[in-house]
Amino acid sequence: MLIDFNKIKELEVPGMNGGTGTMSPGMHMSENGKIILCKIHVGGSIGTHPHPSSDDINYILSGTGKAVCDVEEEILTAGTCHICKRGSEHSIINTGKDDLVMLTIVVER
């Protein structure tokens, strides 16, 4: 299967999960999960939220940020991967001067 994010319309989402600013996701969804090309814009964040039934895998393509997973902080830079395992909760914050761009894979289990 080919997923072409060039053909998937990006949304503009303000305050995702109670976060700040805006983000722009392009999303492919199925019954098994989601694949999301996500941009958290400067000054934006995804608020703390749980993952009761899925693993959330976030591979950072560009930008800088911080993830807080079960109160542990992780620094995010291009080439790093933050994983929020099923049963955990996390938030992701853009701490940089450019968009924080990541490929997120949500695996339902």
CATH no. for residue 86?
A: 2.60.120.10
Indicate whether 3 belongs to any domain.
no
Please tell me the predicted confidence (pLDDT) of residue 104: 98
Please tell me the predicted confidence (pLDDT) of residue 40: 98
Q: Name the stretches of the chain with pLDDT < 50.
A: none
Indicate whether 2 belongs to any domain.
no
Question: Alpha-carbon dihedral of residues 59, 65, 66, 67, nearest 10 degrees?
Answer: -30
Domain encompassing residue 27: 10-108
Indicate whether 104 belongs to any domain.
yes
Please tell me the predicted confidence (pLDDT) of residue 46: 98
Please tell me the predicted confidence (pLDDT) of residue 15: 96
Tell which residue, 58, 107, 61, 59, has the closest CA to residue 86.
107
**pTM of the full predicted structure?**
0.94
